[in-house]
């Protein structure tokens, strides 16, 4: 579904991503892991044209999308739930959800999907008329994910969905992602919580200083003591 070939991302003289290649197949979850500053956010942002990719090729559903504008890439079926949630604070929950479907023209389908995701995230139903700034961090993260889903993506990319959340809320977020996985949604997940991510993912990649240092299955990474300890600060095995 998604293929990245030899992608480089630079900010002036700073090389954030150095020749990374990876693939996400339909129905898979790929966890993209690594220490802070490894280039994870730069890589996924470059996929949707939000970071300066200096070379390399990005393909989606068999078409090269490297030179396309962000709006066109999103219309193809890729959405990004960014780090820090970035909901529209002064809009209500309902308005945020409808904004996620702004490119759609099927009013009945939009209404149906709102109900679907209010069922999946019940707290958003009780907060439906509240402004997003009144929500807790966990509630805002659920809203950010639901807003991305309103675009009916083929590939959902999430950047640090557990960042800054209490452990019980993190558990709830990953339960929701597991529910989406059971529905067949393809995901690319950037996450500092490696244990949670590897418990959910089929495959895993590890970035360090902008370069790919591991690319394999989640099970293979969990059994790789050296990579787990050196780059993720965890014990493997």
Task: Tell me the pTM.
Answer: 0.90
Average pLDDT for 142-151: 94
Average pLDDT for 207-225: 91
Token representation of residue 125: 């139903």
Kindly report, residue by residue over 190-201, the tens digit of the pLDDT. Answer: 998 888 999 999
Q: How far apart are CA 1 and CA 219, in angstroms?
A: 22
Q: In which band, very low, low, confident or very high, does the pLDDT at 99 lie, cut at 50, 70 and 90? A: very high
pLDDT of residue 236: 56
Dihedral angle computed from the Cα positions of residues 182, 186, 11 and 21, in that order, rounded to the nearest 10 degrees: 120
Domains of the chain by residue range: 1-77+155-165+185-237
**Phi, psi for 168 (deg, rounded to 5):** -70, -30
Q: In which band, very low, low, confident or very high, does the pLDDT at 223 lie, cut at 50, 70 and 90? A: confident
pLDDT at 149 over 80: yes
Can you identify the CATH homologous superfamily of domain 1-77+155-165+185-237?
P-loop containing nucleotide triphosphate hydrolases (3.40.50.300)
pLDDT of residue 1: 94
Q: How far apart are CA 185 and CA 157, in angstroms?
A: 11
């Amino acid at each position: 579904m998604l293929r990245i070939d030899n992608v480089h991302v630079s900010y002036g003289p700073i090389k954030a991503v150095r020749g990374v290649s990876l693939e996400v197949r339909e129905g898979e979850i790929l966890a993209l892991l690594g220490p802070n500053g490894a280039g994870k956010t730069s890589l996924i942002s470059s996929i949707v044209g939000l970071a300066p990719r200096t070379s390399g090729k990005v393909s989606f559903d068999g078409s090269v999308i490297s030179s396309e504008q962000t709006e066109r890439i999103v219309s193809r079926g890729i959405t990004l739930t960014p780090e820090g949630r970035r909901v529209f604070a002064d809009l209500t929950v309902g308005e945020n959800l409808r904004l996620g479907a702004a490119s759609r023209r099927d009013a009945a389908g939009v209404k149906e999907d709102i109900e679907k995701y209010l069922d999946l995230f019940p707290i958003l139903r009780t907060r439906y008329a509240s402004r997003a700034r009144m929500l807790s961090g966990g509630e805002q993260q659920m809203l950010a994910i639901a807003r991305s889903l309103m675009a009916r993506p083929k590939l959902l990319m999430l950047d640090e969905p557990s960042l800054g959340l209490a452990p019980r809320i993190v558990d709830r977020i990953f339960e929701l992602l597991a529910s989406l996985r059971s529905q067949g949604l393809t995901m690319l997940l950037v996450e500092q919580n490696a244990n949670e991510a590897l418990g959910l993912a089929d495959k895993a990649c590890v970035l360090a200083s902008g370069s790919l240092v591991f690319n394999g299955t989640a099970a293979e990474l969990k059994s790789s003591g050296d990579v787990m300890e050196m780059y993720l600060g965890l014990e493997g095995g």
